[in-house]
Structure 1
Amino acid sequence: MAARRNTYGRRQGRPLRAGRKALLEEALPRLEITLPEEERPLRPQELFDPLPERLFLEIGFGGGEHLAWQAAHNPGTGFIGAEYFVTGVATLLGQLRERGAEAPLRIYLGDARDLMERLPDAVLDRVFILFPDPWPKKRHHKRRLIQRETLDLLARLLKDGGELRFATDDPGYLSWALQRLSDHPAFAWQVAGPADWRLRPDDWPPTRYEEKALKAGRRPAYLRLRRRPRKNTCYSS
């Protein structure tokens, strides 16, 4: 676990402004997920009361605008946002306050994989991995989030028919992700034509990072994958 956490660098950049710091101190304790000390699964019933009809997870939500939008537009759905950087968590809390989002939402401040390892099987309906760090240097590729180990975790956690959404503006990372996603037996790429992976569905709002990429002339790709029905298969690295 420690090796994973060390790949991120510092948890906070510039000091938070007083308003953001106060919001973090006020709101985060009510929403933050704390993993049980004992090695046991973390049941959704421990996070949400009442238990929502669906459960979505966003890994690395950055500024939180996508997660806040999803929370505001999906009644009856519970949300888990996992983010390593304190600044991103504070920004999400500001987004939620501005939008007045009422959907049940919990935040995990740390490496999402630590949380994922504690969740029970077939608990998630949708997972978002949007514009993760591409780690472009070859010696850093082992730090990329899309690895066989992570896909095995996602295959275990997603319900049959559940959806994985992935976006990147880095061509090298796109090739890397497509190869590993295509090779994994649990996932089926939902693409009907050449333009599909260049278009966002209506329920996939843009993020500030995406807008920054477009202004810089980088063309994002948007992948949607379905979790294939289980056939008593154990996925392991």
Structure 2
Amino acid sequence: MTERYEGSFFGRRKGKALSPTRIQRVENAMPELGLDLSVSTPESALNLFDAPVSSVCLEVGFGAGGHLLHRARENPDIGYIGVEPFVGSMAKVVTTVLAEGLTNIRLYDDDAIKVLDWLPEGSIDLAYQLYPDPWPKKRHWKRRFINEKNLDRYARVLKSGCEFRFASDIDTYVDWTLKRCRKHENFEWTAETASDWTQPWKNWPGTRYEAKAVRENRVPRYLTFLRV
């Protein structure tokens, strides 16, 4: 049976109310920092950034933004597209981007499938999905972002030979993702030894959610799949 779910893949969008100043800051910045999906798909994702970039990475669901910002700082010649519908997280990242003058980040504050459908084919050099909502109740599993249709979307935008990286501390979601990615004709799991999926990627900054998981004795897993 083909998995098809086109509803929202995220839960609540708002938590603690933002101050009027932060709201105004985000509203003023998003016309420049945000992706405008109402315009035609660009010929190249490289053209989305003010600064010249040599490649483009995508992070779906950047949470508090620690990983996204870390990668953007350490690789100023790489463009980063970050997607996050949670208002507080977006405000935090926008504030940091403005304060540090980062020119290699573009943001989107709605469902990631819209970005994946809008981006040019074969335009992304690396994609991350780190600690996505696991929707732990079985009746909600259809809302997990990793499904056949969304893997089709990732496969369309990723360049051949490039990686899709997934991290989670929820065993059922790790197993879920492994099963679906290994079944998909466009993805190949790269692990050869246990350390390939128990150790994080190079220059890994960690995330706030990951630190909480470790404190609660949940074990993070890091899966790498090659776009073939």
TM-score by length of 1: 0.87
AA aligned opposite 1:104? N
Q: Distance in 1 between matches of 2:72 and 2:183?
A: 32
Q: Quick check: 1:71–1:101 contact (8 Å CA) kept in 2? A: no
Q: Quick check: 1:4–1:111 contact (8 Å CA) kept in 2? A: no
User: Residue 16 of structure 2 aligns with which residue?
Assistant: 14
Deviation sequence 1:90-142 (CA, Å, 0-9, x none): 121234356x2634111111001011101111000000100000001111010
1:51 Cα shift? 5.0
Alpha-carbon RMSD across the aligned residues, in angstroms, is 2.0
User: Residue 195 of structure 2 aligns with which residue?
Assistant: 195
Q: Quick check: 2:121–2:157 contact (8 Å CA) kept in 1? A: yes
User: Residue 114 of structure 2 aligns with which residue?
Assistant: 114
Cα gap change, 1:23 to 1:161, in 2 (>3 Å): same
Q: Distance in 2 between matches of 1:68 and 1:89?
A: 12
Matched, 1:29 2:31: yes
1:192 Cα shift? 2.1
AA aligned opposite 1:114? K
Cα gap change, 1:173 to 1:9, in 2 (>3 Å): closer
Cα gap change, 1:68 to 1:86, in 2 (>3 Å): same
Identity of aligned residues (%): 39
User: Residue 126 of structure 2 aligns with which residue?
Assistant: 126
Q: Distance in 2 between matches of 1:190 and 1:110?
A: 31
1:4 counterpart SS class: coil
Structure 2, unpaired ranges of 5+ = none
Cα gap change, 1:197 to 1:178, in 2 (>3 Å): same
User: Residue 53 of structure 1 aligns with which residue?
Assistant: 54
Matching of residues 35-184 of structure 1 within 5 Å: 35-36=37-38, 40-43=40-43, 44=45, 47-49=48-50, 52-97=53-98, 100=100, 102-184=102-184
Deviation sequence 1:16-75 (CA, Å, 0-9, x none): 1355334323433320112126xx534426522455210000000011010000000112
AA aligned opposite 2:189? W
Q: Distance in 2 between matches of 1:58 and 1:147?
A: 17
Q: Distance in 2 between matches of 1:198 and 1:101?
A: 35
Q: Distance in 2 between matches of 1:220 and 1:101?
A: 32
Structure 1, unpaired ranges of 5+ = 229-237
